[in-house]
Amino acid sequence: MSEHPNVARLRGGYEAFGKGDFAALDDLFAEDIRWTIPGRSQLSGTFEGRQAVYNMFGRLFEVTEGSFRVEPRKIFADDTDAVVVATSTAHRGQTSLEVLVAHVCRLRDGRIVEFQEASTDQQAMDDLIG
């Protein structure tokens, strides 16, 4: 059974995120993307539009001293939906984090239009980000 093309696109997106390659992310994120981060940290909430998401990424890297990483473990996708199981790691000062997360995406024409995250330890995420 061959891999769905959106699996490869998402894998490439995680690689681009890791490199800070926003030009590559422009090809994956719809202009009107809606990105929701759960919890009670300073970055929790819903971000509307590609630029708002990129600004949030900038704040995330600032808060985590440039250490935030996401390593996909499994990627499942079809034409309209995707789920990525990943490990997120980061540190802030002497505090470090490694947590399993799920990213649930809605897709349109191969682009992410909606992104939601769920963490196995939301309190640890909130504590690290502040």
The C-alpha torsion from 74 through 77 and 83 to 87, rounded to 10°, is 30
pLDDT range class, residue 106, cuts 50, 70, 90: very high
The sign of the dihedral angle between the CA atoms of 30, 103, 59, 48 is: positive
pLDDT of 69 strictly over 90? yes
Q: pLDDT-derived band of residue 127, with 50, 70 and 90 as boundaries? A: very high
Kindly state the percentage of the chain with pLDDT values over 90: 97
Q: Domain extents for the chain?
A: 5-129
The model's pTM is 0.94
Strands 111-119 and 29-37: parallel
Q: Tell me: domain 5-129, CATH 3.10.450.50, correct? A: yes
